[in-house]
Structure 1
Amino acid sequence: MLSELSSAAKVVGVKQSKKVIRDGGAKQVFIAADAERRITDPIRALCEQHNVEVTGVSSMKQLGEAVGIAVGAAVVAVTE
């Protein structure tokens, strides 16, 4: 699934992901295992509240590369 992220409709980052999860537009959320828990725990809780599937990714670097950005990403939400 990670390889499909580059072509999927998505938002990258914590703030944008929170918004799309709250608005009901997130289909799946990817969270990097090496991101700070104080950042990712609220996202996990929000996903649980809104019944959004969460998939763990080993690193922020790997998640950033999967979405085609030059920096790491803690959270990516797929919207379609």
Structure 2
Amino acid sequence: MTLEALKQAEQRTVGVKQTEKAVARQAAELVYIAVDADERVTGKLLALCRENNVPAVTTESMVDIGRACGINVKAAAAAILKA
């Protein structure tokens, strides 16, 4: 999956904490995690995705996720939410 889907998503989360909450409540359809993010930050999210059978894809950088979400800062993770 490319970041284009994240850019066009009507509902999404931005950031690890918000994305973890969405995965935990079964609201996330697809999760994006930046490879350059610290594993201590994203490790719990990745485990949560596995537990809840939510697909997680990696992206090259936190800057890419931030831009796809329309923010001017880096983001370690984001998710497309279910409709």
- TM-score of the pair, normalised by structure 1: 0.95
- Per the alignment, residue 8 of structure 2 pairs with 7
C-alpha distance in 1 between matches for 2:25 and 2:5: 23
Equivalent residue for 1:43, pick from 28, 41, 45:
45
Equivalent residue for 1:18, pick from 20, 27, 31:
20
C-alpha distance in 2 between matches for 1:40 and 1:63: 14
Post-superposition offset of 1:67: 1.1
Stretches of 4+ moved more than 4 A in 1?
none
C-alpha distance in 2 between matches for 1:68 and 1:42: 25
- Per the alignment, residue 63 of structure 2 pairs with 61
How large is the RMSD of aligned CA atoms in angstroms? 0.8
- 30-39 or 2-11, larger mean C-alpha shift: 2-11
C-alpha distance in 2 between matches for 1:4 and 1:28: 10
Identity of aligned residues (%): 40
1:26-65 Cα offsets, whole Å, 9 max, x none, are: 0110000000000111100000000000000000011111
2:79 match: secondary structure: strand
- TM-score of the pair, normalised by structure 2: 0.91
Q: Which runs of 5+ in 2 are unaligned?
A: none
Q: Which runs of 5+ in 1 are unaligned?
A: none
- The number of residue pairs the alignment matches comes to 80
